[in-house]
Amino acid sequence: MIHATAIIHPSAQLGADVEIGPYCIVGADVVLGDRCRLQHHVSVQGPSVFGADNVFYHGGSVGERTQDLKYREEPTRLEVGDGNCFREFVTVHRATMPGGVTRIGNRGNFLAYSHVAHDCLVGDDVIFSNNGTLAGHVEVGNRAIIGGLSAIHQFCRIGAHAIIGGCTKVVQDVPPYFVADGNPAAPRAVNLVGLERAGFSKDTIRDIKAAYRTLYRSNLNTTQAMEKLRAGDPVPEVRILADFVESSQRGIIR
């Protein structure tokens, strides 16, 4: 179902049952998976590959060239999984460096005016509230939530199951499972509701809460806190937290 006013580049590939509404543009080297739906006035540019069941609301611009001033039309890509929803005026850009990829996983919900910049890696089941913004090279873990009007500095990482509060400025990594809020962002609590909804057991949540206290409510420095977290035989979630902290290049929020 392709509206008569839509413009489809000859090199674009459309899967089964794709719907393209009025005044949409599908550019060169775009691959749209089965049952993707473009509402109206949507621009999808390539090289980009989209899985099945993605929905694009009006005014969105997805797969456009990076805004990075270093970019000189080198070949870069956008890769998007299945079942994502891109609401009104969402923008997603391809990577900057030759061969680079901006990547979005599955079942993400990107609310109006949210932005994913060049070279970002976004996981599955994320939620970006209105005007949630990623600068370049940001990594966002599975089931993370980016609050409305929040901004994530380039090269920062948002851990899985983390929540970024509305109007938050993030300039360092946010560890998984935690709530970050403020300008600049500071740790506030464990994301208890999110962990319960994700099916974490009470015992695992108890261990994550203890890890939060060790990291943020004790008098230990980061090295000492990591030693304590790794002592004994911690649950996998605590090991994931420790690995995240120890691999941080920008440091974690404090």
Residue with tokens 């409305």: 148
- Fill in the DSSP letter of residue 65: P
Catalytic residue among 119, 173, 181, 207: 119
Catalytic residue among 21, 51, 105, 136: 136
> Would you call 118 a catalytic residue per the annotation?
yes
Cis ω on the peptide bond leading into residue 47 (within 30° of 0)? yes
b/e per residue, 40-68, with b = 16+ CB within 10 A?
bbbbbbbbbbbbbbbbbbbbbbbbbebeb
- The residue among 172, 93, 167, 102 whose CA lies nearest residue 129 is 167
Catalytic residue among 118, 124, 137, 159: 118
- Using a 10 angstrom Cβ sphere, with 0-12 exposed, 13-18 middle and 19 or more buried, the burial of residue 203 is exposed
- The residue among 51, 99, 52 whose CA lies nearest residue 77 is 99
> Would you call 173 a catalytic residue per the annotation?
no
Q: Which residues form the catalytic set?
A: 118-119, 136
